[in-house]
Amino acid sequence: MADYTRAQSLPEPGTETFFLWGPRQSGKTTLLRQRYPEAVWIDLLKADEFRRYATRPELLREELAKSGGRFVVVDEVQKVPALLDEAHWLHENTGVHFALCGSSARKLKRGHGNLLGGRALRRELFGLSAHEVGADFDLNRMLNHGTLPRIYASNSPRPVLNAYVADYLKEEVMAEGLVRHLPPFSDFLNAAALTDTEQVNFTNLGRELGVSRETVRGYFEILSDTLLARMLPPYRKRPKRRLSLADKFYFHDVGVVNFLARRGIIEPGSELYGKAFENWVFHELCCYNSYRDRFAEFSFWRLSTGAEVDFIINDLECAIECKSSAEVQTHHLKGLREMKLEHPSVKKQIVVSRESKSRKTSDGIEILSVADFVTELWSGSLF
C-alpha cells in the first residue's frame, strides 16, 4: 500500500495536549506513530494494558513519575475514561502533554467523561482525501472502495469491508453497551445505507424497522457519536418560499455504504454512482475544513417543490452542486439558478462534475472538473 502523507497537522511533541478522533481504520495510530516515535505509548486495545489501567488508572501517574515521560499517546482512550482524570491532573500539575486518540467520544460524553475542560485541542482524522492520494487518485476506485486507507488500497475490498462492519458492531456498539439488542441495530445499518445523501424521515424508517421514531433517532446519534456518519442541516435563513427542513444523512465512507446497501460495482452514469459522487464531494469538503482549521458551517438548500443545491458553505459564501455526469446540461443548473433568485447575495456558485475541462457559464456558474475542484478546494479558493 502506498504511504500517503496525511494532511492533518498535529502539534509538535510536548507542546500541546490534544484529542485525535476518527473512525476505525482511518489511520490514527499510524499517523501518531509516524509523528511521535519517541512518545510513551499506551495501547488500550491490548488486553493486559486495558485491564491494568481499567482497575488502577493511577498507575499512569506513578509510571510517568518513574520514567519521566513528558509526552504520552493513549490509544483508544474511550475504553478507560478514568484515565482522562489522570491525564488532566498530570497536564495541569506536571506539564505532561498527551495525544488522546479514539474512535468514539459517545461513552465519554454520556458518562460525563473528563474532556479536560477545554484545555485539549480537538483534531479529527478522516479517510483518505483526493488531495492526500495525489497523483494516485482514482475517482472510480474511491467511489467503489471508499476512503479508508487499507480498503482503498485493497484489490478485494468486499471481504475487508465485511470485517470492518462486523468489527464495528462488535467493538463499538456491543462492547461499549451502546444498544441493548444488536440485530435491530444491524438491520438499521442496512436501512440507513439506503438513505445516504438523502433527507431522513425517522417515522417512516421506524415503521419499516418495527421500532419507534425515537429509537431510530437514537440509532442515528450512535452513528454520529462513533464517527461513522454525519448529518447535514438545511439552510434556513431568509426563506421567501417554503423550504424542506429535514436533515440529510451521510455515512463517513462511501465504501461502507456500498457494502451495507449491497450495491455491487457502481458504474459512471448510474444513479448510485451519482449518490456516491455526492458523498465523496462532502467527504473532501469535510477533510479540508478540518485539516485547514476553516471552521466553516455546511448546510444544503431545498425547496418543498424539489429544487435543491447540495452544499451551502457558511452564509452563502459558496453554493456547490454535485453532478457526476461527464457533460453538464442546462437542466443540471436549475437548483443553483433558483437559489440565486432566492438569495442574490450568494458569492460563488459551483458544479462539481466529471467534465474533462472546467468552464464558466454566462451567468457566472463555474463548472469544475474533479481535478480542478480538488485543486481549488485545497488551495483555499472556495472558502
Written as nine digits, the cell of 262 is: 449491497
CB 283 within 8 A of CB 227: no
Q: Residue 56 forms beta bridges with which residues?
A: none
- pLDDT at residue 115 is higher than 80: no
Q: Residue 100 forms beta bridges with which residues?
A: 19, 74
167 confidence band (pLDDT: 50, 70, 90): confident
- Largest Cα–Cα distance in the chain? 70
**CATH topology classification for 18-124:** Rossmann fold (3.40.50)
Domain ranges of the chain: 18-124, 130-378
- pLDDT at residue 152 is higher than 80: yes
CB environment 270-279: b (16+ within 10 A), e (fewer): eebbbbbbbb
CB 365 within 8 A of CB 332: no
Cα end-to-end distance, the chain, whole Å: 32
176 confidence band (pLDDT: 50, 70, 90): low
Rounded to an integer, the average pLDDT of 227-232 is 94
- pLDDT at residue 1 is higher than 60: no
Q: Indicate the pTM of the whole model.
A: 0.93
88 secondary structure, DSSP code? H
Q: Residue 74 forms beta bridges with which residues?
A: 42, 100
| pLDDT recorded at residue 182 | 73
- pLDDT at residue 106 is higher than 80: no
Percentage of residues in the chain having pLDDT higher than 90: 82
Give the span between the Cα atoms of 191 and 171, in whole angstroms.
21
Give the span between the Cα atoms of 120 and 134, in whole angstroms.
31
CB 234 within 8 A of CB 301: yes
| pLDDT recorded at residue 203 | 95
Give the span between the Cα atoms of 129 and 132, in whole angstroms.
5
Nearest to 73, CA basis, from 25, 22, 35: 35
Helices (H), ranges, 168-296: 182-193, 202-209, 213-225, 254-260, 271-291
243 secondary structure, DSSP code? B
Q: Express each pLDDT in 240-289 by its tens digit.
A: 667 778 999 999 999 999 999 999 999 999 999 999 999 999 999 999 99
- pLDDT at residue 108 is higher than 80: no
| pLDDT recorded at residue 190 | 93
Measured CA distances, 127 to 16, 100, 115 (Å): 24, 19, 24
E strands, the chain, are 18-21, 40-43, 71-75, 97-102, 121-124, 229-232, 248-251, 298-302, 308-313, 318-322, 349-352, 359-360, 366-368
Give the span between the Cα atoms of 27 and 72, in whole angstroms.
18
Please state the φ and ψ torsions of residue 379, each to the nearest 5 degrees. -85, -5
Q: Is 295 left (phi over 0), alpha (psi -120 to 50) or beta?
A: left
Burial of 226 (0-12, 13-18, 19+ CB in 10 A): buried
| Selection from 175-179, 185-189, 285-289 with the highest mean pLDDT | 285-289
Q: Is the dihedral of CA 348, 352, 353, 359 positive or negative?
A: positive
109 confidence band (pLDDT: 50, 70, 90): low
